[in-house]
Amino acid sequence: MDLFVQQTLAGISNGAIYASLALAIVMIYQAIDHINFAQGEMAMFSTYIAWTLIVRFDVPYWIAFGLTLVISFLGGMLIERIVFAPIHQAPALSHLLVFLGLYAIFNSLAGEIWGHTIKEFPSPFPDYSFGGLIGAHQVGTIVIVMFMLAAIYSFFKTTKLGLALRAVASNPESARLVGIKVKWMRALGWGLAASLGSLSGMMIAPIVFLDPNMMGGILIYSFTAALIGGIDSPGGAVAGGFLVGVLENLVGTYVEFIGSELKLTFALLLITGTLLLKPNGLFGRKIVTRV
């Protein structure tokens, strides 16, 4: 029973990380109707920035944490304005190529600047375990992510800017007609997504260690989460994140065939399964392609 509780709690903690990255993916999907394949690499790059601030410049953790969120936000906005705004009308394949281009650029830039050796990333939480069931870092991760999600939720629900963002996601043309500056809303969506991604990177890095390829698997889980939740449903992405986190851990523990080494294959099956059987996810809306 202890093992079950322990694995479930660890799953929730991982799930919090997937949830934040999945939410980032959904936000960009809502802003530009495309799936950001470079989301993981962007998060990795942000995490390296945090590492530089903390380890190289001795900035206190929480200040570095805040700075990283802000830097990532601005970086995300810049990427939208510079890279994606000019090809806004281009077809899916062109977007995919640009995402992959960014993926490669961030990955190799990180390797170039910080090298490929694995680095330790500090956790802001003490090295403490609650009754051997869950570590302080895991609890901290859950708390921080929940706090961020709550902040984002209330931003969307209670502020005018949040309402404008949701309006753009719902109907860009009408949004323009009522006077919302749609292109800035898109950039804002990217900024928020990049911030959320950096949060997931900073929370996972103490566990998987810092290296340019650290987000590969996490991105896959987050895609799975976003798809299960419904790619256009922010709430669904969060729920999907926790679901995938818990499932991943329990399946890895109890299904001997999968174990820890075939977890990614499990994610692959979940992705293909969701896409084929429930393409709108559990909470999403129907995706209609126009002829």
Count of residues that interact with another protein, criterion CB under 8 A: 68
| Residue ranges in 106-145 that form contacts with another protein under rule CB under 8 A | 107-109, 111-112
CB closer to another protein, 63 vs 82:
82
From candidates 197, 223, 251, 281, binder to another protein by CB under 8 A: 223
CB closer to another protein, 83 vs 139:
83
In the complex, least distance from residue 96 CB atom to another protein, rounded to whole angstroms: 5
SS3 readout for 51-89: HHHHHHCCCCHHHHHHHHHHHHHHHHHHHHHHHHHHHCC
Spatial distance between the Cα atoms of 69 and 196, rounded to a whole number of angstroms? 8
User: x/- site string to another protein, residues 140 to 179, per CB under 8 A?
Assistant: --------------------x--xx-xx-xxx-xxxxxxx
CB closer to another protein, 59 vs 271:
271
Burial of 283: CB neighbours in 10 Å, binned 0-12, 13-18, 19+: middle
From candidates 27, 48, 50, 95, binder to another protein by CB under 8 A: 95
**Please, which residues have CB within 8 angstroms of residue 189's CB and are 6 or more apart in sequence?**
27, 28, 30, 31, 32, 80, 165, 168, 169
In the complex, least distance from residue 147 CB atom to another protein, rounded to whole angstroms: 25
Point out which span in 64-72, 119-127, 138-146, 255-263 binds another protein (CB under 8 A).
255-263
Nearest to 142 by CA among 5, 45, 23, 245: 245
What is the distance of C-alpha 108 from the center of its chain? Answer: 20
CB closer to another protein, 98 vs 144:
98
* Integer-rounded Cα radius of gyration of the chain: 19
DSSP 17-51: HHHHHHHHHHHHHHHHSS--TTHHHHHHHHHHHHH
Spatial distance between the Cα atoms of 236 and 27, rounded to a whole number of angstroms? 12
CB closer to another protein, 57 vs 257:
257
User: x/- site string to another protein, residues 201 to 220, per CB under 8 A?
Assistant: ---------------xx--x
Residue indicated by tokens 């895609």: 223
In the complex, least distance from residue 46 CB atom to another protein, rounded to whole angstroms: 18
Point out which span in 5-13, 95-103, 120-128, 141-149 binds another protein (CB under 8 A).
95-103
Tell me which DSSP letter residue 127 carries. S
In the complex, least distance from residue 88 CB atom to another protein, rounded to whole angstroms: 10
Q: Is 274 in contact with 230 (CB distance < 8 Å)? A: no
* 78 binds another protein, rule: CB under 8 A: no
What is the contact surface with another protein in residues (CB under 8 A)? 34-35, 37, 83, 86-87, 89-98, 100-105, 107-109, 111-112, 160, 163-164, 166-167, 169-171, 173-182, 216-217, 220, 223-224, 227, 257, 259, 261-265, 267-268, 271-272, 275-276, 279, 285, 289, 291
